[in-house]
Amino acid sequence: MREKVGQLFMPTIPGSTPAQAAALVERYHLGGVIYFPVNLRTPRQTAELSNGLQKAAMKHGGVPLVISTDEEQGPVSRLPYITRFPANKSLASGRHPDDNVRTAARVTGEELRAVGINQDNAPDADVNINPNNPVIGVRSFGADPEKVAHFVGVAIDAYRATGVAVVAKHFPGHGDTATDSHTGLPIIDHSRATWERVDAPPFKAAVEHDADVIMTAHIVVPGLDKSRLPATMSKTVLGGLLRGTLGYRGVIITDSLQMAGATIKFGPEEAAVRAVVAGADMLLMPRNLGRAYNAVLAAVKSGRISQSRLDDAVTHILHMKYERGMFRSPYVDAAKASHVIGSKEHREAARKVAADVRSGG
């Protein structure tokens, strides 16, 4: 049971060497980790960190880690050495937008994979119809639902071709908010009909293009769930809409549980438990890993989180790891990482995309 519960967690890790983080992986039987700049110094160092963490995970149970990061390009970029591309809005506004989106996702995926990062928390699937949106903005492909849906599909296909798992975000749609869910709990007044017309198309595309993971949003949409629960903790949104209406069968992961939108109604541990009960499979960045882990474990033991709900979550996670080749190839060649990152071909590809974006704008 403890190993199953551990698979649900994807926390941040300390430091930039395996020795500093391996103990967490082993102690909690973690399903994944997420990298931030503090963990990332050079391509070779990152690859060695990834290999060390995978070794720790495989030593106890033989289940590889999901190693993720937020590498959307544009304003949300974690790897200090990665080949840089413009934000999604710019990619989609060039003269050859499909090629731009495809190239950015391909190069990004290849470079992430070279350093042992096997999941990118991208692309953003929000339709940014609110020009005052403080958190999405240029991260979105735009304000046209059908165009955003198209580019989400293009990006997913390109990422998946590199072997990197894809995360479409933030369900049910963070594009019409005036509040940042990092600092508050946004309320969106979309009706069900408006949601189906505006917010749903990119997520339908994500499902159709086999997105490995879909990330939830810490937002309230009364038109979708009268309980006014944050979507991350809503059975109606995660089970009824995402699993039911859209027919999604992949992994559901929460947005960061350190964000105010996740904890403004409930404490950090209660938020984690409620998210799993609602249908989330993985819990991203709990504020305190030990407390959140113990809270979820206690909820399973008490029956508040049913054994079948836990088994479903773990099954989704293990299936994704198998399908994306994480069991088959958990390690990377650290010596080759620096030859992939910023290669001549990648730099030239980035130059062409930047030129196309400038000419199109």
Q: What domains does the chain contain, in order, with CATH numbers?
A: 2-24+118-335 (3.20.20.300)
- C-beta of residue 356 within 8 angstroms of C-beta of residue 96: yes
Burial pattern 14-25, b for ≥16 Cβ within 10 A else e, equals eebebeebbebb
255 is catalytic: yes
Q: Which residues contact 339 (CB under 8 A, 6 or more apart)?
A: none
Q: Are 138 and 89 in contact (CB under 8 A)?
A: yes
Element of type H or E holding 68:
strand 66-69
Say if residue 361's pLDDT is above 70: no
Q: What secondary structure does DSSP assign to 159-226, as a single string?
A: HHHTT-EEEEEEET--TT-SS-TTTS--B----HHHIIIIIHHHHHHHHHTT-SEEEE---B-TTT-T
Q: How far is CA 215 from CA 22, 60, 168, 283, 341, in A?
A: 26, 28, 6, 10, 27
The torsion angle over the Cα atoms of residues 147, 152, 154 and 157, rounded to 10 degrees, is: -160
pTM of the predicted model as reported, rounded to 2 decimal places? 0.96
Calpha distance 147→130 (Å, rounded):
16
Of the residues 255, 316, 346, 356, which is catalytic? 255
Tokens representing 14 are 């300390």
> For residue 102, what is the DSSP state?
H
What integer is the mean pLDDT of 132-140?
89
Mean pLDDT of the region 152-176: 97
126 is known as an active-site residue: no
Q: What is the pLDDT of residues 258-308, one digit of tens each?
A: 998 899 889 999 999 999 999 999 999 999 999 999 999 999 999 999 999
pLDDT tops 90 at residue 133: no
Specify the range with the lowest mean pLDDT, choosing from 4-13, 174-183, 333-342.
174-183
- What does the alpha-carbon distance between residue 328 and residue 322 come to, in Å, rounded to a whole number? 8
3-state secondary structure of 17: coil
- The 10s digit of each residue's pLDDT in 225-248 is 999 999 999 999 999 999 999 999
Give the model confidence (pLDDT) of 87-108 as tens digits.
999 999 999 999 999 999 999 9
Active-site residue, selected from the candidate residues 98, 157, 180, 182:
182
Q: What percentage of residues in the chain have a pLDDT greater than 70?
A: 100
